[in-house]
Structure 1
């Protein structure tokens, strides 16, 4: 079977890998000159199945108001007339209850845990390197209220069989000794030992080379214009370099997926949530993180990537604006300076922004559509790196007509039609 994949971020490239492994002829199309040049380029570096959770949670509407009013606000909503944003917000708020949160988190954990297992297997088979560290992730709590609020997440982790450790301050320092300088600012933490850290860009670039060795064809610097359909079947992709035909078509365009599919009458409830990251060269490794910590107060992650620190976080609902104002730098820079002062040269840091394709319930949209030959692998939000391999292997199985290795419940676009 000839499969045409639209998008060469980590989702598109991992999909190409598994489809090629299954014996398919694969063509990948992207407007960028090489793989992983957009959202996959400089994300926070977390491979965090244990931290997988929907934004839509009980109490989030009130928390969001508080976040908007913080000096270093982790959330910003632009005052703009955008029906797509308003529709997405309404659907997200409808999921802010205990029942929906438990259901959505369980779905996300199912994909993320499977994805982590797939990554371990791929790493063992290929020896691929990407500044990876498998030393877990620690959620840092600065208040007793945060510590108490973690109880609900712990119950869901237990129900899904996910390992965790509740840590006091001494326990945190045992894993992240550089935090000894700020122990008075911490009250406790939740460690997820199965979580990892790694450079998504390095990984995607390296895997793309392995895909080429399997015969995958990459067509870069190619603008995707539209999908052509006849009698309920996709017949071709129209690009600025001509038409590309296949037996199956997989959309892995992240935040840009809805615009491509809207003319076909497929409405994807995905909205771009803008995030920022800093990449800082390490100058004193003894003051740097060992793996990844997530500051729950500021919603910023600090990860160790080889001789660099990656600091990622904040969320902006500003449409497709990709500007990187220096004012937003303060949000992510504050956390690394507050927790790991003296660890790196912030003056040499690289500021980056990307658009995370968020669904209102947090779960990605995977698998078939109502069009024959058209499949989806999109909507991973902040967890594209975390869920990439599991999502790709899952969708590859569906395209190949085999049974996926995880439960299919609630993962397709049909969940929005109920």
Structure 2
């Protein structure tokens, strides 16, 4: 079949790769000038199976109320005159019910573990270097009550087969000596040795190059504007090309992997796509002293910030801001990342040369992504991964390709349309 993939982030590019490996004729459209230029450009870099937890949990509503007036809050909901935000928010509250937590975690862990395994296979087979490190993820805690509460989540992860273990503050510093200057603030940590980190942008660009060599066509600077239908099926995708002219691309099947912008494409067709942007921030610091900068990927649970070493750079990323589609940088959030970097790793980083970034992470109310066939027979979704797009990206692409070919994917996951 000829298949059009809309989007060239980690989800779109991995979908294109696996569809081509299955023998399909694949063309990818993206409004950016190259692959992975938006949400996959500068995220936190973690492959974090151990923290594949939904934002929606029984404690979340009260936390959101406490954080509403804080510009630097880890999770911030800014009400907009947008019915889609309110609809999403109500669905989020439903997912906070205690009965929803375990099924959502089970789905996320299943896809995350599957995807990590697929990533390791691809890394070996394709010889892709993306500043990857396989040294685990260390989650640090300052507050004794928060550390104690975290062990309930860790226990649930262990029930699902994830080796997330509680350790002392001294053990945390032994695993990551760069935390020594901050030891007096730590009360404990979680450690998962199987987790990884790496630069999703570097990986996606390299995968797009391999895909192009294998015959995938990429149309960059090409904005998909509308899906045409005929006889209950998608008959073509209307686009504005690099030359500014309208065109119509016809294919046998279509994969919508355009992140937070997917709903605008599929809702006119009556396809439900409960995805709303959660703006995340990152700061990338040049490393001045390699020995004083961490090489184990870290999670600062209290600030909802992840930290990954990417060669001679250190990436700090996190927070979630539900405030519409603006990517404008909030100075308070940028300052929070810079201040935290200086506190954790004094003298290790060039704080003054930080590169700040924001991206619109496509989030579903449950954090469980939408992967599979829609009510329109030849239209498929691969979106809604929130903060776990890198963690679940390549596995989601392979699962989507299996669904297109009529096969049940390997992971136990609530695929749509199956």
Regarding TM over 0.5, the answer is: yes
Comparing 207-216 with 328-337, greater Cα deviation is found at 328-337
Aligned to 2:292: 287
Comparing 239-248 with 51-60, greater Cα deviation is found at 239-248
Aligned to 2:329: 324
Matched, 1:356 2:370: no
Residue among 408, 411, 414 paired with 2:415: 411
Check the 8 A contact 1:106/1:156 in 2, yes or no: no
Shift of 1:328: 2.3
| CA–CA separation in structure 1 for the residues paired with 2:98 and 2:185 | 30
Which digits, 9 at most, give the CA deviation of each residue in 1:221-269, with x for residues without a partner?
1111111111221111111241111111000001000111111011211
Matched residue count: 413
Q: TM-score, normalised by structure 2?
A: 0.96
Shift of 1:71: 7.2
Shift of 1:155: 2.6
Question: 1:9-408 maps to which residues of 2 (within 5 A)?
Answer: 9-69=9-69, 72-241=72-241, 242-408=247-413
| CA–CA separation in structure 1 for the residues paired with 2:41 and 2:339 | 22
| CA–CA separation in structure 1 for the residues paired with 2:138 and 2:66 | 24
| CA–CA separation in structure 2 for the residues paired with 1:179 and 1:70 | 27
Shift of 1:75: 2.8
Query: Counterpart of 2:12 in 1: which secondary structure?
Result: helix
Matched, 1:5 2:5: yes
Q: TM-score, normalised by structure 1?
A: 0.96
| CA–CA separation in structure 1 for the residues paired with 2:269 and 2:137 | 41
- Give the unaligned 5+ runs of structure 1: none
| CA–CA separation in structure 2 for the residues paired with 1:285 and 1:123 | 25
Comparing 352-361 with 152-161, greater Cα deviation is found at 152-161
Query: Counterpart of 1:227 in 2: which secondary structure?
Result: strand
Query: Counterpart of 1:324 in 2: which secondary structure?
Result: coil
Query: Counterpart of 1:302 in 2: which secondary structure?
Result: strand
Shift of 1:106: 0.6
Shift of 1:97: 2.5
Shift of 1:152: 2.3
Query: Counterpart of 2:122 in 1: which secondary structure?
Result: helix
Shift of 1:80: 2.3
Check the 8 A contact 2:72/2:332 in 1, yes or no: no
Check the 8 A contact 2:30/2:219 in 1, yes or no: yes
Comparing 111-120 with 154-163, greater Cα deviation is found at 154-163
Query: Counterpart of 2:356 in 1: which secondary structure?
Result: strand
Alpha-carbon spacing, 1:180–1:310, altered in 2? closer, same or farther (3 Å): same
- Off by >4 Å, runs of 4+ in structure 1: none
Comparing 319-328 with 54-63, greater Cα deviation is found at 319-328
Check the 8 A contact 2:64/2:76 in 1, yes or no: no
Check the 8 A contact 2:57/2:95 in 1, yes or no: yes
| CA–CA separation in structure 1 for the residues paired with 2:299 and 2:66 | 19
Check the 8 A contact 2:271/2:376 in 1, yes or no: no
Shift of 1:66: 2.8
Shift of 1:69: 4.8
Which digits, 9 at most, give the CA deviation of each residue in 1:324-351, with x for residues without a partner?
1333211222222221121110111101
Comparing 321-330 with 383-392, greater Cα deviation is found at 321-330
| CA–CA separation in structure 2 for the residues paired with 1:57 and 1:356 | 19
Shift of 1:413: 6.7
| CA–CA separation in structure 1 for the residues paired with 2:74 and 2:292 | 25
Check the 8 A contact 1:48/1:195 in 2, yes or no: yes
CA RMSD, 1 decimal:
1.4
| CA–CA separation in structure 1 for the residues paired with 2:48 and 2:94 | 25
